[in-house]
Each structure stands twice: as structure tokens, then as C-alpha cells.
């Protein structure tokens, strides 16, 4: 009888432990759902919302992070879009995404909606990364909403009616077949009116950036756009387009195109951070004309222009002819760190391009540059190694 009593007690203990474990797992799962409920915005759903305001009913389907009880889009919400393609496969990309989002959240004074252009597997990774950010920082008052913009939808646009256009752009602006920017996604800004049909303004950012200031200050530059402005970007902080225009500059020795700003020149634009007026971009007949082979070939031949940087090259080329379409952001909102050109024939002029006075608001670790871990206000001209 004593033995049976012990066996019965042991079984009872095992059952209790099992029930406790299941209860714990259930609670954890519920917490994850409450803390980070996200709605996937498929192309079909986007089409259903196409007649709604970006700050209206369309947002009701999107649940929030940090304040799960409030699913409405608050006034003053800032819209951000970024590409996280193949994020499930690349640890470096995951690290950059997490650091980027965390830095934006750390300094923001405004509610945010972040549109993540990626595949389903990578979006699941992005979701988990953001969960980790909120848990690690014990944030409960950070109003963030995330939307999945499936790459399949973007690819359908670029393969459908836009396939000929993308093919032409790839020919002129990703001339190397193994170019990182050859992916059609690097021209997705041209499809924003289809991809994000409810929005009028959006900040496009690369994931290799770190924000060290309130993103609302960047967004405030939209209020400085004139009616003719379509896109806002910072200038290129390297002699990239001096090199691209080498032949043209030899034949046009007085040109300022490709020269640094301190010589009164225009060094081109960098698309790592872009402020886009979506309706203006979609309705611009000038930009549309540069998507046609005839004009594109004529202007590229005129400037002896062949690029490898996707839509950045396209917009820089257009800016050569039509600078008034573009608003120039301060370099401090895209403090590029790439020094690749310094030791490739441009050491004597490099610092004329790399110079960026003022307090850094956003670091851009382009060409895999290391972003410094520097707390507090940082001089943009601090030596970056």
C-alpha cells in the first residue's frame, strides 16, 4: 500500500508540473500576441483600402505595438518604409534592421507606422526582432505600427506593366549584371502609388542607418517642400558622380556637375534617406519621361553616364537637368560614412565631399561602414574610422 501511495503521489506531481508548464507557455504566447499584433497588408487588402485616408479607417486593421489597446492611427503619425529582403537568411541584415528600428524608436516623439517590404519568412523575423526591442527596453509607451508589404506584390508590379520600364532602368543604372542594386526592388520608389496607395508622404530609409535624433525633425522638412518639389534627399558625400562623369567633365571643363559643394558644385544625391511626395512623384511628367528608353539613352549618352546604384542614379541624372524637382536635405540627416573612394584616386579631393558640418541626426553605414557607438550630441565632422 505504501508503494502504491508513493506511485500515486509521483504521478500526481508529474501531472501538476505538466499543467504548470502548459500554463506558462500559454501565458507567454498570449503576451506575444498582445504586445505585437500585426496585420499583413497584402496587395488585395491594399487595393481595398486605396480610397481611404492614410490616417483614417484603413489604419483600423493595423494593430499597434507598445500600446495594444489603441489600433487607430494617431494624428501626426510618421510613415516610414524600408526593404528587408532576404532578412531571414542574413544575420548582418537582421542586426542592421534591429539597430535601425531601435534607434528610431529611442528618439521619436511621434507615433510611427513602418512598412516593411520583404518576403513572408523575413517579415516573421522582423516581427520577432521588434518584439525583442520592446522587451529589452521595457517600452510600453512607444506607439509603433508595422505593416507587411510583400515583395511578391512589388515583383508583380515590376514584372507586369512595369517590366519594360524596369528592364530599361536596369540596363542604364545597374550595368554590372552582378550589381547588388540590380534587384527590381531598388526601383520600388517608382511604384509607391501602387504599393502604398493610401499614403501621400513617406520616408524611405535603408536599414543600415542609425537615428540619433527625433525622426519628427526629419519629417518636418516635408513642410519646407515647394509645390515643384517631388523628392527630398541629401547630397552624396563622396566623389561617386565625379567618377561617373569623368568623360563628360573632360569635355566640359567648366561644369560644376560632379564637383563638391564647397566649390559650388553638385555632387549628386544619395538615396539612403528619401522624403517622397507620392502624388507628386506619380504625376510628374518630367520624371515619367526619363523612364522611356529614347530620352534616357539620349541623356545618359550626353553625360557619358553609366551607373550601378539603382534609383539613386536615376534621380541624380534627372537632377542634372531638372534640379528644381528635388529638395536638398541637410547632410546631417544622411551622414554617410563610406570612404571607399578615398584611396581610389580621389584622396586629394575626398574631404571636400566628405565634409559635413553640424550635429549628426542620422548615420548611414553605406558600403558596410562601421557606425560609431557615440552617445549624446556628435559632431558630424568627428573623425570616423
Report the relative pairing of strands 144-150 and 231-235 from DSSP bridges.
unpaired
∠ CA 266-271-276, nearest 5°, is 105
- pLDDT of residue 240 exceeding 60, the answer is yes
What pLDDT does residue 9 have? 55
Q: Which of 90-99, 106-115, 135-144, 355-364 shows the lowest mean pLDDT across its residues?
A: 135-144
Burial of 281 (0-12, 13-18, 19+ CB in 10 A): middle
CB 93 within 8 A of CB 113: no
pLDDT tens column, 24-33: 443 333 333 3
Q: Which of 149-153, 192-196, 329-333 shows the lowest mean pLDDT across its residues?
A: 149-153
- pLDDT of residue 377 exceeding 70, the answer is no
- pLDDT of residue 23 exceeding 90, the answer is no
Q: Which of 1-10, 94-103, 346-355 shows the lowest mean pLDDT across its residues?
A: 1-10
Burial of 343 (0-12, 13-18, 19+ CB in 10 A): exposed
CA–CA separation, 55 vs 233, rounded Å? 25
Q: State the DSSP code for 258.
A: T
Q: State whether residue 381 is helix, strand or coil.
A: coil
Summary mean pLDDT of the chain: 82
Q: Mean of the pLDDT values across residues 69-90?
A: 84
Which residue is it, cell 500554463?
23
Report the relative pairing of strands 231-235 and 201-205 from DSSP bridges.
unpaired
Assign 42 a pLDDT band (cuts: 50, 70, 90). very low
pLDDT tens column, 194-217: 999 999 999 999 999 999 999 999
Domain ranges within the chain, ordered by starting residue: 35-159, 207-385
Q: Which of 37-41, 178-182, 219-223 shows the lowest mean pLDDT across its residues?
A: 37-41
CA–CA separation, 117 vs 84, rounded Å? 6
Q: State the DSSP code for 188.
A: G
pLDDT tens column, 307-316: 989 899 999 9
What pLDDT does residue 104 have? 97
What pLDDT does residue 63 have? 37
- pLDDT of residue 66 exceeding 50, the answer is no
CA–CA separation, 267 vs 249, rounded Å? 13
Which residue did the predictor score with more confidence, 91 or 6?
91
CB 316 within 8 A of CB 269: yes
CA–CA separation, 18 vs 24, rounded Å? 10
Amino acid at each position: 500500500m505504501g508503494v502504491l501511495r508513493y506511485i500515486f503521489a509521483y504521478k500526481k506531481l508529474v501531472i501538476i508540473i505538466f499543467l504548470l508548464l502548459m500554463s506558462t507557455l500559454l501565458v507567454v504566447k498570449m503576451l506575444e500576441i498582445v504586445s505585437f499584433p500585426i496585420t499583413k497588408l497584402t496587395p488585395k487588402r491594399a487595393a481595398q483600402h486605396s480610397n481611404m485616408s492614410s490616417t483614417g479607417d484603413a489604419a483600423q486593421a493595423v494593430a499597434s505595438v507598445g500600446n495594444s489597446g489603441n489600433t487607430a492611427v494617431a494624428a501626426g503619425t510618421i510613415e516610414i518604409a524600408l526593404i528587408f529582403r532576404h532578412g531571414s537568411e542574413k544575420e548582418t541584415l537582421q542586426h542592421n534592421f534591429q539597430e535601425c528600428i531601435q534607434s528610431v524608436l529611442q528618439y521619436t516623439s511621434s507615433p510611427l507606422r513602418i512598412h516593411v517590404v520583404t518576403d513572408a519568412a523575413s517579415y516573421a523575423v522582423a516581427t520577432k526582432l521588434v518584439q525583442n526591442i520592446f522587451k529589452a527596453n521595457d517600452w510600453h509607451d512607444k506607439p509603433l505600427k508595422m505593416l507587411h508589404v510583400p515583395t511578391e506584390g512589388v515583383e508583380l508590379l515590376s514584372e507586369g506593366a512595369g517590366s519594360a520600364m524596369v528592364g530599361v532602368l536596369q540596363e542604364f543604372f545597374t550595368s554590372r549584371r552582378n550589381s547588388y542594386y540590380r534587384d527590381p526592388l531598388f526601383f520600388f520608389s517608382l511604384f509607391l502609388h501602387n504599393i502604398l496607395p493610401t499614403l501621400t508622404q513617406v520616408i524611405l530609409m535603408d536599414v543600415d542607418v542609425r537615428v540619433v535624433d527625433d525622426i519628427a525633425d526629419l519629417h518636418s522638412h516635408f513642410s519646407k517642400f515647394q509645390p515643384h518639389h517631388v523628392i527630398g534627399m541629401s547630397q552624396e558625400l563622396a566623389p561617386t558622380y565625379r567618377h561617373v562623369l569623368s568623360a563628360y567633365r573632360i569635355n566640359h571643363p567648366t561644369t560644376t556637375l560632379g564637383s563638391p559643394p564647397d566649390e559650388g558644385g553638385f555632387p549628386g544625391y544619395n538615396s539612403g534617406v528619401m522624403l517622397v511626395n507620392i502624388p507628386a512623384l506619380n504625376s510628374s511628367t518630367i520624371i515619367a519621361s526619363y523612364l522611356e528608353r529614347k530620352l534616357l539613352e539620349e541623356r545618359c549618352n550626353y553625360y557619358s553616364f553609366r551607373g550601378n546604384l539603382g534609383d539613386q542614379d536615376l534621380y541624380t541624372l534627372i537632377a542634372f537637368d531638372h534640379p528644381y524637382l528635388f529638395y536638398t536635405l541637410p547632410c546631417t540627416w544622411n551622414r554617410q560614412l563610406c570612404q571607399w573612394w578615398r584611396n581610389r584616386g580621389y584622396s586629394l579631393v575626398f574631404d571636400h565631399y566628405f565634409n559635413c558640418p553640424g550635429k549628426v541626426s542620422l548615420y548611414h553605414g553605406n558600403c558596410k561602414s562601421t557606425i560609431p557607438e557615440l552617445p549624446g550630441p556628435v559632431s558630424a565632422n568627428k573623425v570616423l574610422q
